[in-house]
Structure 1
Amino acid sequence: MPAMIEITSWLRIDEDDLIWKATRASGPGGQHVNKTSTAIELRFDVRNSPYLPDDVKDRLTALAGSRMTQDGVLVLFAQGSRSQEMNRQDALDRLIDLIRRATEKPKPRKATKPTYSSKLKRLETKSKRGTVKSGRGRVKFDD
């Protein structure tokens, strides 16, 4: 049986669907960073995942933004630690957090109308502003 990663009580993803790649981290760091591959690139094919419902896929795509490729693959890059294992855990934690946030259904917006007093206040402010602006025109002398 494949190892499953628990996202929520009702949602799990297969660990075999994750593609891990170790690369060299960018930035300063001296000799250590130049010779070890401690940075981790995690890829997860959201579009073709059989474990995610369609509405979660849509919300995850929106949440991921530029981290989502056009093919529907989520790419996370972790290079904060000098340890490859810690970067691997960081990338996995970020993936789980992102999917958890995508499982939360947004609260439906209730349409509201502005109150009568707020309408009056807005119109009063507009007329005051118009009076101020009309006073900025050319000065006319009555002779």
Structure 2
Amino acid sequence: MRCCGVPDDVLINERLVIPAAELSWRFSRSSGPGGQGVNTTDSRVELSWDLAGSDLLPPMLRERALERLGTRLVNGVLTVVASEHRSQLRNREAAAARLAGIVAGAIAPPPRARRATRPSRGAVERRISDKKRRSQTKRNRRGGFD
């Protein structure tokens, strides 16, 4: 962390950290809240990381991330934008957290395959008896109006 709480490196998980040297920051004027200061401060933040060109990830994880983030990448570069806060500092923190979340999700192992199961006979019978009871209740409400 830098002096003001702005991260130098981006922590992805306990074993993976993107060094500050691989990150590219860009700042511009934000269209969001800010009052009179919105026209003078560069509070919008763009954080870019060259995923395809980085040697940080092992080849297997890099391939998984490139496959999962294919639509978000431009020439192998992942870019995250943050402009929801009024201060550049908070937008930088938000962009770093967003990048970490996206990369962590992209390199996560695939979920285990679901094993098909069937409902038990008791569960099926309970469901059908509940449906019959509900049907009878509604049928009883349809009494004739004299």
Q: Is 2:86 the partner of 1:82?
A: yes
Distance 1:7 1:33, change over 3 A: same
Amino acid across the alignment from 2:108 = E
The SS at the match of 2:57 is coil
Greater CA drift, 103-112 or 32-41: 103-112
The offset of 1:63, in angstroms, is 4.3
The offset of 1:55, in angstroms, is 3.1
Q: CA-atom RMSD, angstroms?
A: 2.7
Aligned to 1:50: 55
Query: Among 15, 18, 25, which residue is 2:30 paired with?
Result: 25
Amino acid across the alignment from 2:109 = K
Q: Is 2:17 the partner of 1:12?
A: yes
Q: Is 2:123 the partner of 1:109?
A: no
The SS at the match of 1:59 is helix
The offset of 1:35, in angstroms, is 1.5
Aligned residues: 112
Distance 1:4 1:37, change over 3 A: closer
Q: Which residues of structure 2 form unaligned runs of 5+?
A: 1-7, 119-146
The offset of 1:52, in angstroms, is 1.1
The offset of 1:99, in angstroms, is 1.6
Q: Which residues of structure 1 form unaligned runs of 5+?
A: 115-143
Amino acid across the alignment from 1:36 = T
Aligned to 2:97: 93
Could you state the TM-score of these two structures normalised by the residue count of structure 2? 0.63
The SS at the match of 2:13 is coil
The offset of 1:54, in angstroms, is 2.8
Q: Distance in 1 between matches of 2:48 and 2:10?
A: 15
Greater CA drift, 50-59 or 95-104: 50-59
Could you state the TM-score of these two structures normalised by the residue count of structure 1? 0.65
Q: Is residue 67–residue 76 contact of structure 1 (8 Å, CA) maintained in 2?
A: no
Q: Distance in 2 between matches of 1:9 and 1:41?
A: 25
